[in-house]
Amino acid sequence: MHPLIQKYKLDSIFLPLLAILITCLFWYVIAGKSVITEKTDDFGDKIKVTKREGLSADLPTPAETWTASKPYIVDPFAKRGELDQGILRFTWMSLVLVAQGYFIALVIGTPIGFLLGLSRQFTKAFDPIIQVLRPVSPLAWLPLGMILFSGVKVVNGDGRTTFGASDAAALFTIAICAMWPTVMNTAVGVRAVPVDYLNVARVLRLSRWKTLWKVLVPATLPYMFTGFRLSLGIAWLVIVAVEMLTGRPGVGGFLWQQYNANSYAHIILCILTIGVVGYVLDRLMSVIEGRFKTA
Amino acid sequence: MPLIEIRNACKGYGHNGSRTEVLKDISLSVEEGEFVVIVGYSGSGKSTLINLLSGLVKPDSGEALIEGRTITGPGPDRGLVFQNYSLLPWLTVEENIALAVDEVFKDWTAEQRRAHVARHIAMVKLSHAAHKLPRELSGGMRQRVSVARTLAMNPRVLLMDEPLSALDALTRATLQDEISEIWQSNKTTVIWITNDPDEAILVADKVIPLLPTAPATLGEPILVNLERPRDRRTINHDPAFKKLRARLINTLLDAKGRTKSKTSLKLNLPDILPEDLTQVNSIEFLTRRGPKRRHESKNEEVEVAA
């Protein structure tokens, strides 16, 4: 085989596999193992007692995790009940919510970023507020969202609530947490537009509107997309917290519910799913981002 | 009446404490159809001068006028060719030029505007690259697009801010010839800024040195009455060309020489006095108060370039 291909195989297949193996081994070592002992009970009968032992007795082993997760993975779109569905079905619900909140974040965040980048006064006025609100955790925003949208209630024909206060609060939380990278990157991008491009616009006497769309927006796009990518990552982080607190069905809600139901294997399944989906989303966004890089 | 002029303009940057005057008492008037080249050292305020005319910079005192009206801001009547091309990288050659044409000739039909764009692309010999993005073009080609974009606005004056400085020598020569040719065919008024005296004499009707006094002032104009078209291969041996070049370079060098000034610096000479090392082991040496110094400073006059 060609030595380069060999090297590639070693670097990008063998080494990651090795790392995964080591991690699983570590996991196996610290996980609890079921130990079955035979005992004679008070009535003189022999009974089997199952006890879990190990460094972290309640943590399922990799094999147990797989066995318990199998029905959710092999039939990813099954719907056995409101809170017992295939893992991709849950993921899809979470993704829909994230998409909505993320969309709101972009629609609000991008213009704010432009205003910050264009106007010194606006920056001076709003920068303190933004800097203070930016590090606030999603867990803190959600209750505020509940209060803000306590009156929201959309009822469909059957009298069932299709969009209630908790849905509105969830969207609000995702939007307000995911907005900041878009806001900051857009502002930086607008400030970084080369003076030459603006001089071209001045010499051609382009109108403000045309300067915005023909010069400012295209020149800022690469920065904006960096912001969009970071925002999507945060939106996906926030979803779990939001679903846990509101009890919405979704991958995060499932995680919390399984924790309460003591099926710990499913927690690991959820964590892996969240990680993989987050990674895929980030890759997708960086492909799109790459397409918008100009000169 | 001159087409475009500057009257007693001064311009400086910065505030009270760290203020530097860049231009002082600049007066310049250019007639319709003239080809004027302003030559000066790098950093001597050439770009500021052309920006006074383009309207990107306002003079502190004095005024800049076009056809007798004060210049208050940039406009399409004064086409500016930037040193670094300033093409929008997300637009193709055609779109870059169309952006200017669509803005300036709003009352034309789409067909007219398209033809106008195509004509100017052809004029700079770039029809084959009309749909390319600037990053796919060489530096020379980019500057040709920039010239085409500016000419397509049908400006009264073409302002060129060191248009060829970023190009290699061979490309620069080609573009000098091409721009000269274009000028001969449409006789637009041109004000061209450069730091290359040869380039200046080769293309200009009138060369004005920008003297590197601080702040800079304009020198006596030098009229170039060499025959056109000028052939760069033979012109180097033309005595008239040589004489003009010598005169121009001398003017610039003389002005540079005059800007040297005298200043005095206080220099501290090393002044530790020698000690007798044979007494190192004596009591006096151990209790001495450090090395002895002559405590003198000497003044010396040195010449420094300002």
- For chain A, list residues whose CB is within 8 angstroms of any CB belonging to chain B: 196-197, 199-200, 202-206, 210, 214-215, 218-219, 221, 294-295
Q: Which of B84, B99, B117, B147 should one mutate to test binding to chain A, selecting the residue with the greatest count of A CBs within 10 A?
A: B99
Our measurement of the distance from residue B275's CA atom to the centroid of its chain's CA atoms, rounded to an integer in Å, reads 60
ipTM of predicted complex: 0.71
Query: What does the DSSP assignment read for chain A?
Result: --HHHHHHHIIIIIHHHHHHHHHHHHHHHHB-EEEEEEEE-TTS-EEEEEEEESTBTTSPPHHHHHHHHHHHHHSTT-EEETTEE-HHHHHHHHHHHHHHHHHHHHHHHHHHHHHHHH-HHHHHHHHHHHHHHTT--HHHHHHHHHHHTTT--EE-TTS-EEE-HHHHHHHHHHHHHHHHHHHHHHHHHHHTS-HHHHHHHHHTT--HHHIIIIIIHHHHHHHHHHHHHHHHHHHHHHHHHHHHHHT-SSHHHHHHHHHHTT-HHHHHHHHHHHHHHHHHHHHHHHHHHHHT---
Q: Which of B80, B84, B86 should one mutate to test binding to chain A, selecting the residue with the greatest count of A CBs within 10 A?
A: B86
Q: What is the mean pLDDT of residues A203-228?
A: 90
Q: From the CA of A193, how many Å to the nearest CA of chain B?
A: 11
**Per-residue pLDDT at B275 exceeds 50:** yes
Do B286 and B192 share a structural domain? no
Do B29 and B140 share a structural domain? yes
What confidence tens digit (pLDDT) does each residue in A234-287 have? 999 998 889 888 888 888 888 888 888 888 888 999 999 999 999 999 999 988
**Per-residue pLDDT at A1 exceeds 90:** no
Q: Which of A266-280, B154-168, B291-305 has the lowest mean pLDDT?
A: B291-305
- Is residue A185 in some structural domain? yes
Q: CA neighbours within 13 Å on the CB side: how many for A234?
A: 26
Q: Which of A78-82, A128-132, B113-117, B208-212 has the lowest mean pLDDT?
A: A78-82
Asked if A205 and B153 come within 8 Å (Cβ–Cβ), the reply is no
Asked if A199 and B86 come within 8 Å (Cβ–Cβ), the reply is yes
- Is residue A90 in some structural domain? no
CATH number for B240: 3.40.50.300
List the beta bridge partners of residue B158: B79, B190
Question: Which pLDDT belongs to residue B176?
Answer: 87
Q: What percent of chain B has pLDDT over 70?
A: 88
Domain with A230, as residue range(s), is 96-247
Residue A276 to residue A149: CA distance in whole angstroms? 32
- Is residue A46 in some structural domain? no
Tokens of B65: 């006028």
Q: What is the mean pLDDT of residues A15-25?
A: 92
Q: What is the mean pLDDT of residues B279-289?
A: 69
Question: Which pLDDT belongs to residue B128?
Answer: 92
Question: Which pLDDT belongs to residue B297?
Answer: 44
Q: Out of B74, B84, B133, whose CB is closest to A205? A: B74
Cα–Cα distances in Å, from A205 out to A193, A210, B4, B17, B98?
A: 18, 10, 19, 35, 14
Asked if B76 and A202 come within 8 Å (Cβ–Cβ), the reply is no
Question: Which pLDDT belongs to residue B222?
Answer: 87
Q: Which of B77, B88, B27, B24 is nearest to B55 (CA)?
A: B77
Our measurement of the distance from residue B30's CA atom to the centroid of its chain's CA atoms, rounded to an integer in Å, reads 17
Instruction: Note the residue count of chain B.
Output: 306
Do B268 and B138 share a structural domain? no
Q: From the CA of A83, how many Å to the nearest CA of chain B?
A: 49
Do B276 and B173 share a structural domain? no
For chain A, how many structural domains are there in total?
Answer: 1
**pTM of the full structure:** 0.75
Q: From the CA of B182, how many Å to the nearest CA of chain A?
A: 22
Question: Which pLDDT belongs to residue B232?
Answer: 80
- Is residue A79 in some structural domain? no
Cα–Cα distances in Å, from B229 out to A14, B201, B202, B221, B234?
A: 70, 13, 10, 21, 11
Do B254 and B266 share a structural domain? no
**Per-residue pLDDT at A293 exceeds 70:** no
Q: From the CA of B76, how many Å to the nearest CA of chain A?
A: 6
Residue A117 to residue B198: CA distance in whole angstroms? 44
Do B283 and B204 share a structural domain? no
Tell me the torsion sign for CA atoms A272, A273, A277, A283.
positive
Do B121 and B84 share a structural domain? yes
Q: What is the mean pLDDT of residues B221-243?
A: 84
Helix axes A165-191, A217-246, angle to 10 degrees: 150
Asked if A205 and B54 come within 8 Å (Cβ–Cβ), the reply is no
Residue scoring higher pLDDT (A57 or B142): B142
**Per-residue pLDDT at B299 exceeds 60:** no
What confidence tens digit (pLDDT) does each residue in B194-207 have? 988 888 888 888 99
**Per-residue pLDDT at A163 exceeds 60:** yes
Q: What is the mean pLDDT of residues B215-239?
A: 83
Size of interface A-B (CB pairs under 8 A): 51
Q: From the CA of A204, how many Å to the nearest CA of chain B?
A: 6
Asked if B100 and A204 come within 8 Å (Cβ–Cβ), the reply is yes
Do B270 and B131 share a structural domain? no
CB-CB neighbors (< 8 A) of B56 in chain A: 199, 202-203
CB-CB neighbors (< 8 A) of B100 in chain A: 204
- Is residue A22 in some structural domain? no
Q: From the CA of B77, how many Å to the nearest CA of chain A?
A: 9
Q: What is the mean pLDDT of residues B121-138?
A: 90
Residue scoring higher pLDDT (A70 or B291): A70
CB-CB neighbors (< 8 A) of B103 in chain A: 204-206, 210
- Name the amino acid, one letter, at B132: K
Question: Which pLDDT belongs to residue B139?
Answer: 87
Q: Out of B56, B75, B134, whose CB is closest to A205? A: B75
Do B228 and B79 share a structural domain? yes
Asked if B86 and A200 come within 8 Å (Cβ–Cβ), the reply is yes
Return the residue matching tokens 């994230």. Answer: A98
- Is residue A5 in some structural domain? no
CATH number for A152: 1.10.3720.10
Do B249 and B131 share a structural domain? yes
Question: Which pLDDT belongs to residue B296?
Answer: 46
Residue A104 to residue A113: CA distance in whole angstroms? 14
CB-CB neighbors (< 8 A) of A196 in chain B: 82, 84, 86
- Name the amino acid, one letter, at A218: P
Question: Which pLDDT belongs to residue A121?
Answer: 93
Do B281 and B193 share a structural domain? no
Question: Which pLDDT belongs to residue A295?
Answer: 43
Q: Which residues contact A45 (CB under 8 A, 6 or more apart)?
A: none
Domain with B277, as residue range(s), is 262-304
Do B288 and B244 share a structural domain? no
Q: From the CA of B99, how many Å to the nearest CA of chain A?
A: 8
Mean pLDDT of chain A: 87
DSSP letter, residue B77: T
**Per-residue pLDDT at A294 exceeds 60:** no
**Per-residue pLDDT at B251 exceeds 50:** yes
Secondary structure (3-state) at B151:
helix
Q: Which of B15-19, B45-49, B228-232, B282-286 has the lowest mean pLDDT?
A: B282-286
Asked if A196 and B75 come within 8 Å (Cβ–Cβ), the reply is no
CB-CB neighbors (< 8 A) of A205 in chain B: 74-76, 103
Most confident option among A123-132, B173-182, B277-286: A123-132
Mean pLDDT of chain B: 84
**Per-residue pLDDT at A47 exceeds 70:** yes
Asked if B86 and A218 come within 8 Å (Cβ–Cβ), the reply is no
- Is residue A105 in some structural domain? yes
